[in-house]
Structure 1
Amino acid sequence: MFNDSCNLPLDTDTVGLTYIYSVIFTLGLPSNLLSLWGLYQLGRSGGGGCQLVYILNLLLSDLLQLLTLPLWILYLQGGHRWPYGQPACELVGYVFYVNVYASVMFLCLIALDRCLAVVYPLSSRGVRTVRVAAVAGVAVWTLTFLFCLCGLLPSVFDPQSLLCLEQYPVSPGYARFKIATAALGFLLPCAILGYTSARIGLTLQRSPSVSDHERHKIVGILVVITVNFMAVFGPYHLVGGYRFVSLLLTDEPCRLERSIFLVYRLCYGLTSLNTLLDPLFYIFLCSDARLELRRSLPCIKTQRALPRPSPQEEQRPQPPRSTSSKALWE
């Protein structure tokens, strides 16, 4: 199948993206649902704090993005023809984009919160509250909705070719919008993650109460999270940045679109990997969430599973949770 305006071989991405979306949906849906259940149980027990709010929002955005993948698979199998009409295309495309960038923003909030907890453990207590986290969550969703609304209007649907969320060549206004998303949705978060990782690393290096093993573990997790973010979102935004800047400068946009089509589309599909990796890095690395999963789901058996305390033990006064860097990252 070829696009009429730029003569693009649209079927070249069908096999690759279908496999990518199928694997991500098959593994990501149960992982996110299991993680949400663990967080729900953690919230019922009174744990988590503001981190719980941020991670819940992160998983919600991942789950909404995951639910759009079956429709994109059907769209690809139909030869890049959207059979469900313009309103459905606009809704699904809007939900996909909003949740991609909402998840990026919540990753930044999680990194900033952990930086405050380690670098300024006492003075940041007034900021690191559930109420502040809830307000920040509402602000992220609102700003992301408005930003994507400005970029995706008036429409992401072509009634003649039935292309959904695709345009070849793109309009200058849409190209500028995508350049802005590359700057705000990738470069700025990279700077935030790099800054918070450096501050946490320096603070731990100077802290005599943190052992070398704990320090290496925390820094290792920071490095893995940062590399994961760059590996998942970096190719799409870097290739996209080159594509859209070049489209604003070139006199032969269709030639550029043909040369970069397959690479750009595969990088676009890889961004959905965050919906599969987020539960692994932010839930299954959390000892409290794992403990609640073991308690609430008897089918999950591990050697270190702990029994639920008796009513008499629950009534005894418990010591406050540790606010050390080790407790925050285990």
Structure 2
Amino acid sequence: MSNDSCNLPLDTDTVGLTYIYGLIFSLGLPSNLLSLWGLYQLGRSGGGGCQLVYILNLLLSDLLQLLTLPLWILYLQGGHRWPYGQPACELVGYVFYVNVYASVMFLCLIALDRCLAIVYPLSSRGVRTVKVAAVSGVAVWTLTFLFCLWGLLPSVFDSERLLCLEQYPVSPRYAHFKIATVALGFLLPCAILGENLLRRKIVGILVIITINFIVVFGPYHLVGGYRFVYLLMTDEPCGLERSIFLVYRLCYGLTSLNTLLDPLFYIFLCPDARLELRRSLPCVGKGQSTRKQVTLTSTCHLFTEP
């Protein structure tokens, strides 16, 4: 069945996704850059520990994802026609997907680290080190890269209709990949976060991580899971594609909201990260120079040992 046969209303998501992507990009880019700078200064001063490594990787993945949004806005404004050629579509689409699921994995690592620090503060010291965090970060990027490489090859570009990262109806191979992303990129992290929250001592940042994860990634993966399982079971996929198109596309766009929420939740709530921003960027902390200096070895609840 060709892509033309579904006759989808491709223009119905243009306004909604343009506003979503535009808002996220305009607010997310400066907040992520400020956050990265504050954490960089904190790291130079010797604070942060292994959590610093995880959060730096998280913000890096957010930033790379943010940089793809202007191109998606132009794509939407052009009527779902990608004018930059197949290599650019594959690169941008690949960067987008890799960083979405890298963000998910780093959220899980942050949650696991906090769980170990609170429940097993002494016995976990051997694994809660900067070296282990760095190795874990390399492993996350490598596995995510290979996973997305398997799912997005041979191409995510439709040369006839100039669609980028869109298939209507989807191929069985791509449907299997997306079902795998629901299982590994949403259900498994939900199980990990849920298990952590069962501990009586686990509060604060883990609750924020869990709520952020479910609100941002939940609708897309639940709607997508239903879509791709149904498409594998039916011989007439276009009816579902037409009925679910707008809802699915808006849920897809909302996944980028994590790039805006991450720095707000994990950085701007951290007093020492804000202190480093004020120290390195006087315009940020104007009028607050008389505040009592906080020692760099005692960081916010996100970083400290219980």
**Considering the TM-score relative to the shorter chain, is it more than 0.5?**
yes
Cα deviation for residue 228 of structure 1 reads 1.4
Cα deviation for residue 288 of structure 1 reads 1.4
Q: Which residue of 2 aligns with 1:138?
A: 138
Q: Which residue of 2 aligns with 1:117?
A: 117
Residue 254 of structure 1 aligns with an amino acid whose one-letter code is C
Residue 13 of structure 1 aligns with an amino acid whose one-letter code is D
Cα deviation for residue 25 of structure 1 reads 0.2
Within 5 Å, which residues of 2 pair with 1:23-42?
23-42=23-42
1:268 and 2:252 correspond: yes
8 Å Cα contact 2:75/2:82 also seen in 1: yes
Structure with larger Rg: 1
Residue 300 of structure 1 aligns with an amino acid whose one-letter code is V
Cα deviation for residue 225 of structure 1 reads 2.4
Three-state SS of the structure 1 residue aligned to 2:165 is coil
Within 5 Å, which residues of 2 pair with 1:98-247?
98-199=98-199, 202-203=200-201, 219-247=203-231
Residue 271 of structure 2 aligns with an amino acid whose one-letter code is S
Moved more, 114-123 or 222-231: 222-231
- Judged with a 3 Å threshold, the aligned counterparts in structure 2 of structure 1 residues 326 and 17 are, in CA distance, closer, same or farther, namely closer
CA distance in 2, matches of 1:222, 1:143: 24
Q: How many percent identity over aligned positions?
A: 83
8 Å Cα contact 2:24/2:260 also seen in 1: yes
Q: Which residue of 1 aligns with 2:276?
A: 292
**Can you give the 5+ residue segments of structure 2 that lack an aligned partner in the other structure?**
none
**Can you give the 5+ residue segments of structure 1 that lack an aligned partner in the other structure?**
205-218, 310-317
- Judged with a 3 Å threshold, the aligned counterparts in structure 2 of structure 1 residues 230 and 165 are, in CA distance, closer, same or farther, namely same
Q: Which residue of 2 aligns with 1:314?
A: none
Backbone CA RMSD of aligned residues: 2.2
Cα deviation for residue 294 of structure 1 reads 1.3
CA distance in 1, matches of 2:270, 2:87: 40
Moved more, 283-292 or 52-61: 283-292
8 Å Cα contact 2:118/2:305 also seen in 1: no
Three-state SS of the structure 1 residue aligned to 2:53 is helix
Cα deviation for residue 149 of structure 1 reads 0.3
8 Å Cα contact 1:18/1:73 also seen in 2: yes
1:328 and 2:298 correspond: no
Residue 201 of structure 2 aligns with an amino acid whose one-letter code is T
Moved more, 30-39 or 190-199: 190-199
CA distance in 1, matches of 2:22, 2:299: 41
Q: Which has the higher contact order (CA 8 A, sep 6+)?
A: 2
Deviations 1:120-173 (A, max 9, x none): 111111101100000000000000000000000000000000000000000011
Q: Which residue of 1 aligns with 2:265?
A: 281
- Judged with a 3 Å threshold, the aligned counterparts in structure 2 of structure 1 residues 322 and 268 are, in CA distance, closer, same or farther, namely closer
8 Å Cα contact 1:81/1:162 also seen in 2: yes
Cα deviation for residue 306 of structure 1 reads 5.4
TM value normalised by structure 2: 0.94
8 Å Cα contact 2:51/2:302 also seen in 1: no
8 Å Cα contact 1:291/1:305 also seen in 2: no
Q: Which residue of 1 aligns with 2:94?
A: 94
CA distance in 2, matches of 1:79, 1:143: 34
Three-state SS of the structure 2 residue aligned to 1:229 is helix
- Judged with a 3 Å threshold, the aligned counterparts in structure 2 of structure 1 residues 288 and 188 are, in CA distance, closer, same or farther, namely same
Deviations 1:95-128 (A, max 9, x none): 0000000000000000001111111111111101
- Judged with a 3 Å threshold, the aligned counterparts in structure 2 of structure 1 residues 270 and 48 are, in CA distance, closer, same or farther, namely same
Cα deviation for residue 224 of structure 1 reads 2.7
- Judged with a 3 Å threshold, the aligned counterparts in structure 2 of structure 1 residues 326 and 275 are, in CA distance, closer, same or farther, namely closer
- Judged with a 3 Å threshold, the aligned counterparts in structure 2 of structure 1 residues 308 and 258 are, in CA distance, closer, same or farther, namely same
Cα deviation for residue 203 of structure 1 reads 3.3
CA distance in 2, matches of 1:37, 1:319: 16
CA distance in 2, matches of 1:60, 1:197: 26
Q: Which residue of 2 aligns with 1:81?
A: 81
- Judged with a 3 Å threshold, the aligned counterparts in structure 2 of structure 1 residues 254 and 329 are, in CA distance, closer, same or farther, namely farther
CA distance in 2, matches of 1:67, 1:250: 37
- Judged with a 3 Å threshold, the aligned counterparts in structure 2 of structure 1 residues 98 and 306 are, in CA distance, closer, same or farther, namely farther
Residue 191 of structure 1 aligns with an amino acid whose one-letter code is A
CA distance in 2, matches of 1:252, 1:327: 52
- Judged with a 3 Å threshold, the aligned counterparts in structure 2 of structure 1 residues 327 and 186 are, in CA distance, closer, same or farther, namely closer
8 Å Cα contact 1:291/1:306 also seen in 2: no
